[in-house]
Amino acid sequence: MKYWQPKYEKMHRSDIRALQLKRLKNVVKNVYDHVPFYRQGFGNVRPQDITDLEDIARLPTTKKTDLRENYPFGMFATSMRDVVRLHASSGTSGKSTVVGYTAGDIGTWSDLMARNFTMVGLGPDDVFQNAVNYGLFTGGLGIHFGIERIGAIAVPSGTGNTKHQLEMMIDFGVTALHCTPSYALYLTETAREHDLVDLLSLRIGCFGAEPWSANTRRELEETLGINAYDSYGLSEMFGPGVAFECQEKDGLHIWDDHFLVEVLDRDGEVVAPGERGELVLTSLTKEAMPLIRYRTGDITMIREDECPCGRTHTILEKVVGRADDMLIVRGINVFPSQIEGVLMNIPEVGDQFQVVIDRKRHKLDEMHIRVELTDRGFTGELKDLENLRCNVEEKLRTVLNLRTVVELVERGTIPRTAGKARRIIDLRKEW
């Protein structure tokens, strides 16, 4: 078993907690002294009042709206002279959220990525194609610096031009790929369509930025002959690399020496291990923009079991969706992950789906779900397809407690892009 930083990756839990407390005290004092938002938000709590990790509950949470209200640099804890890079969100739902990095932050981030890549078996002999956006999105440079840190060859292919992406993979002997899982499926389908699969040298795929299922992992691994690993990150906590699967592929290791982890219920109370809630993170080593109790919006849970890989850090269950992805349809809460969970257990359909919510008849919400068939779904008999459609509708109704209209479509009908899959189309605002 290879480690990038064994001193930290295999620390005893008591030593991890001691290190976390030391770093938590430092970061609380830092933001109290240099970020007006936190100094005001702490109320009567002072940095010296933090004497135990459980004291984190005395501090307020931080939300994405707080970052937008302090746009662009109000959350920075260092002077702008110390900042060497800026990343930002697209700002499609309001002001961008801007994140700053010192040179120290870039080094820490690069080491985190190197730790992740070493954990899944990557090293100096690999050629790693990074097929994501290299702009303000953190996935480009964040992954890139980690590739170079382990001594592998970085291929900064960016997004789009799928046939050229495949040509590069073949010509350069690419052994590892990073992109969104939905784009990986599209690359796979294009490779099959042009009989290129056997020409690829891929052995490892690192995928993230959107939820993906066991079915997607199985299809990518079986078709491309790779080991596919899930990753988790967010720009507010560096970017990619916050948590990563090891070769056990059974939960994601989140690095406790850099992040203090909480999972909270809707009332802001800590849930028990094994119970799902919203992931809340405190950055312990960021210099330019450390955040206290940041509400990620991601739904997951902490696992209690130990990992056979020997790493002692917290294990998170795979993120099942986002708190703000919740749809309210006819007064019922619906998560896209619930739909995916139903579909992945029906062999005749794939996990590629798209939900359209409209309000056409009688001004009542209607949920229409387009679902792709697998090869096993094409029987050629209309009666069989109708029975399958009714079966999918019934299983969805049982789980969602809501009537849906299901449309079965051919494989490849639902658009794939280089970015995140567009699962939900909500047309109700047009009425």
Biggest CA–CA distance in the chain, Å, is 72
- d(C-alpha 289, C-alpha 283), whole Å: 9
Ramachandran angles phi, psi of 422, nearest 5°: -90, 95
pLDDT tens digit sequence for 270-281 = 999 888 889 999
Write out the two tokens for 175: 């052994």
Tell me the pLDDT band of 393, cut-offs 50, 70 and 90.
Answer: very high
If we measure between CA atoms, which residue out of 323, 336, 241, 326 comes closest to residue 280? 323
Q: How far is CA 429 from CA 339, 358, 359, 360, in A?
A: 22, 9, 9, 11
pLDDT tens digit sequence for 237-269 = 999 999 999 999 999 999 999 999 999 988 899
pLDDT at 431: 45
3-state secondary structure 105-142: HHHHHHHHHHHHHHHCCCCCCCEEEECCCCCCCHHHHH
- d(C-alpha 196, C-alpha 225), whole Å: 13
Tell me the pLDDT band of 331, cut-offs 50, 70 and 90.
Answer: confident
Across-strand partners of 283? 259
The pairing of strands 127-130 and 176-179 is: parallel
pTM for the model: 0.82
- d(C-alpha 96, C-alpha 189), whole Å: 34
**What domains are there in the chain, each with its CATH number?**
1-322 (3.40.50.12780), 326-430 (3.30.300.30)
pLDDT tens digit sequence for 164-180 = 999 999 999 999 999 99
Ramachandran angles phi, psi of 36, nearest 5°: -55, -35
Report which of residues 360 and 49 the model is more confident about: 49
Tell me the pLDDT band of 417, cut-offs 50, 70 and 90.
Answer: low
pLDDT at 254: 98
- d(C-alpha 145, C-alpha 109), whole Å: 8
Cα angle 411, 416, 419; round to 5: 160
Alpha helices in 277-320 (DSSP H): none
Does residue 259 sit in helix, strand or coil? strand
Say whether pLDDT at 330 is over 90: no
Across-strand partners of 179? 207
Rg (CA), the chain: 23
Mean per-residue pLDDT, 23-42: 98
- d(C-alpha 307, C-alpha 317), whole Å: 12
- d(C-alpha 40, C-alpha 72), whole Å: 19
Task: Give me the residue label for tokens 């790779």.
Answer: 226
- d(C-alpha 367, C-alpha 373), whole Å: 19
Beta strands in 271-387 (DSSP E): 277-283, 294-300, 302-303, 315-316, 321-322, 327-329, 332-334, 349-358, 366-373
Say whether pLDDT at 352 is over 90: no
